[in-house]
Amino acid sequence: MNFKPGMNTATMEHYIDFAADHHLEYMLIDEGWSTHEDITHWIAAVDLPEILDKARKRGVRVLLWMRWEAVQKHMAEAFPLYEKWGVAGVKVDFMDRDDQEMVNFYERVVRKAAEHHLVVDFHGAFKPTGLRRAYPNLLTREGVMGMEYSKWSERVTPEHDVTLPFTRMLAGPMDYTPGCFQNATRGEFKPRMVEPMCQGTRAHQLAMYVVFESPLAMLSDYPESYEKQPGMELLEKVPTVWDETKVLNGEPGKYVTIARRTDQNWFLGAMTNWDARDMEIPLGFLGPGEYDAEIFADGPDADKRATSLSVNKKRLKAGESLPVHLASGGGVAIVFTPAR
């Protein structure tokens, strides 16, 4: 690259190009585009009008990150400005409370955002309580110990990942920020802030996009981590909203398999804890006829090299079962498309 990465115009335009090239609908401009106090102006290194113009030309919608204190102070002025600029939505962060004042703040934010056609992602948030039923522009929220903890902690383990579908996810969509491609075995993993690792295999990460529910799902790694990497082709096509969901098996803290349908296509994700396991996945959820299955599975050496991914294709139909092997900390993600 011919620029210095950071919170600057060139970096943001690089991310927009990556999003457009890989059919990603949104690009988030994260912390630093403005001061923490004033979210109605951008810093000198970020030419926001130029960035938004580039995004429009490339068909990518832009989200802006901001601290909740600034939103509380400026949203009456800022949200109409964002609508005028063509911003798609906001990510509001660091609330870290659930008292009555904060509960009321959440509702004021989504109501004002709806008035100005903005979607909302609450980070640093308490778990969902049904607010999105009244305000569907509220796409997702954190309320979970997510992937970012891998920067400073060893707590985000495969066991944690396969506990969440039975606990936090019951309350509603969660902004877990999946998509780490710096995959590491248990012995290799080290918390670090630069090029952070994650515990478990590449297939385990891919499966999250089916298992974990979030209408706004993040690709949390650097663009260069995805380019020409096996598994990126799944991230280009996996939906974030679903017409039907089937839970095929699971046990909290051990493993889980979920299938979800959008239109005629089914997507399946399975994840395990640190225990490797073999499973027979029943395909009774498929409709009539045959399906072409694209299978993103743990590679034969994934227990030693967590980035190892095997990509295969099979023709399958309902009534059959599919044997899969999940490596330690592993998973599998499958796309089922009606055969033509």
Three-class secondary structure of residue 192 per DSSP: coil
Which phi and psi (to 5°) does residue 246 adopt?
-130, 125
Chain mean pLDDT for the chain:
97
Catalytic residue among 93, 121, 142, 175: 93
Which phi and psi (to 5°) does residue 30 adopt?
-85, -165
Question: Please, what's the b/e burial string for 141-170 (b: 16 or more CB within 10 A of its CB; e: otherwise)?
Answer: bbbbebbbbbeeeeebbbbbbbbbbeebbe
CA distance 21 to 41: 29
Which phi and psi (to 5°) does residue 122 adopt?
-95, 115
The answer to whether residue 93 is catalytic is yes
Q: What angle do CA 242, 318, 279 make, to 5 degrees?
A: 85
Q: Is the pLDDT of residue 1 over 90?
A: no
pLDDT at 74: 98
Q: What angle do CA 223, 227, 232 make, to 5 degrees?
A: 100
Catalytic residue among 31, 83, 98, 148: 148
Sign of the CA dihedral running 83, 126, 253, 221: positive
Q: Is the pTM of this model over 0.85?
A: yes
**Residue 257, strand partner residues:** 249, 270
CA distance 309 to 22: 20
Burial class (CB in 10 A: 0-12, 13-18, 19+), 38: middle
Q: Within 10 Å of residue 36's Cβ, how many Cβ atoms?
A: 12
CA distance 61 to 26: 5
Q: What angle do CA 119, 120, 121 make, to 5 degrees?
A: 135
Q: Is the pLDDT of residue 206 over 90?
A: yes
pLDDT band, very low/low/confident/very high, at 263 (cuts 50, 70, 90): very high
Q: What angle do CA 81, 20, 214 make, to 5 degrees?
A: 75
Q: Is the pLDDT of residue 50 over 80?
A: yes
Question: Please, what's the b/e burial string for 296-309 (b: 16 or more CB within 10 A of its CB; e: otherwise)?
Answer: bbbbeebbebbbbb
Three-class secondary structure of residue 237 per DSSP: helix
The answer to whether residue 148 is catalytic is yes
Q: What angle do CA 127, 130, 134 make, to 5 degrees?
A: 135
User: Of all residues in the chain, what percent carry a pLDDT higher than 90?
Assistant: 99
pLDDT at 64: 98
Q: Determine the average pLDDT of the residues in 248-267.
A: 98
259 and 287 in contact (C-beta within 8 Å)? no
Amino acid symbol at 319 = G
Q: Determine the average pLDDT of the residues in 189-217.
A: 97
Q: Determine the average pLDDT of the residues in 49-64.
A: 98
pLDDT band, very low/low/confident/very high, at 3 (cuts 50, 70, 90): confident
DSSP string, 257-300: EEEEEETTEEEEEEEE-SS-EEEEEE-TTS-SSEEEEEEEEE-T
pLDDT at 160: 98
Q: Is the pLDDT of residue 116 over 90?
A: yes
Q: Domains in the chain and their CATH numbers?
A: 1-143 (3.20.20.70), 144-340 (3.20.20.70)
pLDDT at 196: 97
Largest CA distance in the chain: 60
Q: Within 10 Å of residue 182's Cβ, how many Cβ atoms?
A: 18
DSSP string, 83-118: HHHT--EEEEE-----SHHHHHHHHHHHHHHHHTT-
- The helix, strand and coil proportions of the chain, stated in percent and rounded to the nearest 5, come to 30, 25, 45
Residues 186-198: pLDDT tens digits? 999 999 999 999 9
Three-class secondary structure of residue 50 per DSSP: helix
pLDDT band, very low/low/confident/very high, at 2 (cuts 50, 70, 90): confident
